[in-house]
A and B are shown apart, each in its own frame.
Chain A
Amino acid sequence: MRIRVFCILAIIFLNLIWWRGNSLSHQRIYIDLTSPNPRPLALGLQLAGEGPPQALNELREVIKNDLSYTGLFTFVDERLYLEPATSAFKPENWRPLGVDAVIKLNLRQSENRITVLSTLYDVNEGDQILKKEYSAEVGVLRTLAHVIARDIYKRFTDRDPPFEAKILFVGMHEGKRSLYIMDWDGARLRRLGITAETIISPRWSGKSRLLAYTMRQDREWLLKIIDFDTMKQKTVFRSKGLTIAGDILEKDLILITHTEMDNQDIYLLDTKNSTLKKLIGGYAIEIDPVISPDGKRLLFVSDRSGSPQIYMADITGYNIKRMTFRGGYNTSPAWSPEGDAFLYVGSVNGKNQIFLQRLDSTEAIQLTMVGNNEEPSFSPDGRFITFTSDRDGKWKIYIMRRDGSGQKALTAVAGSSPVWIK
């Protein structure tokens, strides 16, 4: 009897401990964390191998500028590096510097070609996380650098940066207007061989790789389209009254502002048949149509309320809705690539400033403060905005980050109407 009792108790106690022990090892503590410290990722960049010194420098500078201008990365001063460029990666050489990742580039040159092996190491994991080889002619070294930077950016964010994009704008040449194109960082400025008395409103369609623009020649307004694949242009429309290129919807369909009977309205132009269809009209001025990224809506400027304001409509031309209510002079709308916000130019104390407004709000954030700032346009990835500013005395092309930080001039020459080409 006693044995029995003892055994029962023993079993009970044994199982007690076993249960408690098991539940403890599965015990889970919950910790909630919010609001990390905002701090860019710290990178190290090393180049090794053979190549002309200016090539190495250019490679280094382009990659550093591309990545740091995004605001996500910062580069640790080379003089602090502990590991020689030619040595193998060891995380303990980088941890004390607070570096998160290291880019090691290895160059090889043969005649006119440069080959670069790019390896990205994660210091905290202690391992390589990207390895890729590139080759290019020495003449396009900058493009090569942009591609390397792009892959690194993509590795960290899984997003496409605009490093390889170009910016096209209208500049001056011998007293006339001319089209110019440059890299997104302002380098390699070149003039396209188009010059005219007046050139306005260049518009790019990445889908069809077409550039539409308007020029005035022989007292006529001409609508031109350049095919960037063949680099040939053609005139698709001409008129005495004002005709301004709007967004290209499809290869043969373009939104335009056109004046008929002294009235400026928004039309759909079919370039194949040269037919015009009025989309949005009225007694007032209706101009500056920009199509939403999903192609379903458009923003435009109208002074039907008595002063120029931004309006939205369906692509059919119906459901017109006023979007801006701040101030009495709002023009120059531009969609964000996500389609959830738009930029516009509003007048503040007599000066033009750039505003960002979400579609679901009537509140707008002012992004520029100094001088006059106009013609804003989002980069294809939505993180950067190009615009024109006269803050330096003459109208030049500027760029800034989406939150208004990092404002800087891209050109030393005068320019207007910047457009992203990608």
Chain B
Amino acid sequence: MRTVEGMSLLLSLFLHLSFVMILITWQMPPKRINPGFITVNLIEEGSERAPIIVNEPLSLKSPEVAPSLRPAEKERVVKPKDREIEREKVIEEALHAIEAKKRLEKLARLKAVISSTVTSKPLHEGRDISPPLQGLSSQRGTTVTSSPEEYAGIVKGIIQSNWTYPEVVKKGLKSRIVILVQRDGSLKITEFHSSGDRLFDYSVKNAILKSSPLPPPPEEVEIELRFSK
């Protein structure tokens, strides 16, 4: 009698927990900042600083793209954190990070408005504008970028600059590659969807190989690269 009631209680608890968890996780935004990698304080720093565009960091033609270090950032630089530290503290920080990111984006948008009147360089459409990142000048290093979008922008710039193709005119070729970028920037090709054209596949593969190692990502991340003509 005891065991039966115990089992049913266990089962009911498990189901309740699962239900609760699903509710919570569904509410979470798809891209979240990993606790421990926070650059919240950036916004608070110098508003007198020149506006910066970060999406295509490798096309450093504009003098305005000035990667500069913010002392506050350094404090938050990633270190392999001890997972044994109280979870609650971690959760708290995570919640703060989410709020901070929202603030960051909001302020960045404001900055964009200001900068568009100040600078002559046109702002890239449809992209978040964030302050410069440490990892711009060096590919190897332990410093970190602040968000997956920014990292995507950096990776795009690097791979794009390494992508060459010997022909100019061709039909609509498409190649899809998924790479797994590890914390140190080394990458692994995990999926390769051929374009059907061997030369195109070769050019795409070379673009990736030449770009390795990438700058260290904020987190081990999977990138799906879609190459097309």
Contact of B206 with A19 in the complex, beta carbons under 8 Å: no
Separation in Å of the A252 CB from the closest CB of chain B? 38
Assess A11 versus B17: contact at CB under 8 Å? Given A31-B159, A36-B203, A71-B167: yes
Q: Which of B68-76, B83-91, B104-112, B117-125 sits within the interface?
A: B83-91
A-B pair number, CB within 8 angstroms = 127
- 9 A-B pairs closest in CB distance: A39-B164, A158-B198, A36-B165, A72-B166, A124-B209, A36-B163, A28-B222, A29-B152, A37-B164
Contacting A at CB under 8 A, from B146-188, are 148-149, 151-152, 155-156, 159-160, 163-169, 178
Q: Which of B18-26, B44-52, B58-66, B136-144 sits within the interface?
A: B18-26
CA distance A27 to B34 in the complex (A): 11
Separation in Å of the B146 CB from the closest CB of chain A? 14
Separation in Å of the B4 CB from the closest CB of chain A? 20
Contacting B at CB under 8 A, from A76-111, are 100
Separation in Å of the B215 CB from the closest CB of chain A? 14
Contact of B198 with A157 in the complex, beta carbons under 8 Å: yes
Q: Which residues of A contact B149 (CB under 8 A)?
A: 29
Q: Which residues of B contact A413 (CB under 8 A)?
A: none
Q: Which residues of B contact A100 (CB under 8 A)?
A: 206
Contact of B25 with A34 in the complex, beta carbons under 8 Å: no
Separation in Å of the B201 CB from the closest CB of chain A? 9
Instruction: Choose from B21, B164, B202, B223 the contact partner of A31 (Cβ within 8 Å).
Output: B223
CA distance A33 to B156 in the complex (A): 7
Contact of A403 with B169 in the complex, beta carbons under 8 Å: yes
Separation in Å of the A221 CB from the closest CB of chain B? 42
Contact of B222 with A38 in the complex, beta carbons under 8 Å: no
Closest to B148 in A: A29
Contacting B at CB under 8 A, from A322-368, are none
Interface 1/0 per residue, A25-62 and B, CB below 8 Å: 11111111111111111000000000000000000000
Q: Is A233 at the interface (CB under 8 A from chain B)?
A: no
Q: Is B113 at the interface (CB under 8 A from chain A)?
A: no
Q: Which residues of B contact A73 (CB under 8 A)?
A: 166
Assess A124 versus B206: contact at CB under 8 Å? Given A16-B91, A33-B156, A33-B160: yes
Separation in Å of the B145 CB from the closest CB of chain A? 12
Q: Which residues of B contact A13 (CB under 8 A)?
A: 87-88, 91
Q: Which residues of B contact A23 (CB under 8 A)?
A: 25, 28, 30, 32
Assess A31 versus B25: contact at CB under 8 Å? Given A39-B166, A71-B166: no
Q: Is A15 at the interface (CB under 8 A from chain B)?
A: yes
Assess A29 versus B223: contact at CB under 8 Å? Given A13-B88, A14-B87, A38-B166: yes
Separation in Å of the B202 CB from the closest CB of chain A? 6
Contact of A12 with B226 in the complex, beta carbons under 8 Å: no
Q: Which residues of A contact B228 (CB under 8 A)?
A: 32-34
CA distance A27 to B164 in the complex (A): 28
Assess A20 versus B17: contact at CB under 8 Å? Given A39-B166, A124-B209: no
Q: Which residues of B contact A14 (CB under 8 A)?
A: 87
Contact of A27 with B226 in the complex, beta carbons under 8 Å: no
Closest to B151 in A: A29
Separation in Å of the A364 CB from the closest CB of chain B? 16
Q: Is A17 at the interface (CB under 8 A from chain B)?
A: yes
Separation in Å of the B163 CB from the closest CB of chain A? 4
Separation in Å of the B196 CB from the closest CB of chain A? 10
Contact of B225 with A33 in the complex, beta carbons under 8 Å: yes
Contact of A27 with B203 in the complex, beta carbons under 8 Å: no
Q: Is A125 at the interface (CB under 8 A from chain B)?
A: yes
Q: Is A24 at the interface (CB under 8 A from chain B)?
A: yes
Q: Is B81 at the interface (CB under 8 A from chain A)?
A: no
Contact of A31 with B224 in the complex, beta carbons under 8 Å: yes
Contact of B209 with A38 in the complex, beta carbons under 8 Å: no
Q: A33-B227, A37-B163, A38-B164 are in contact. List 11 more A-B contacts (CB 8 A).
A: A12-B17, A16-B24, A20-B94, A24-B32, A27-B222, A31-B156, A31-B226, A33-B228, A36-B165, A39-B164, A156-B198
Contact of A34 with B229 in the complex, beta carbons under 8 Å: yes
Contact of B221 with A29 in the complex, beta carbons under 8 Å: yes
CA distance A13 to B222 in the complex (A): 26
CA distance A20 to B28 in the complex (A): 9
Contact of B28 with A27 in the complex, beta carbons under 8 Å: no
Contact of B159 with A27 in the complex, beta carbons under 8 Å: no
CA distance A40 to B199 in the complex (A): 11
Instruction: Choose from B164, B202, B209 the contact partner of A156 (Cβ within 8 Å).
Output: B202
Separation in Å of the A216 CB from the closest CB of chain B? 42
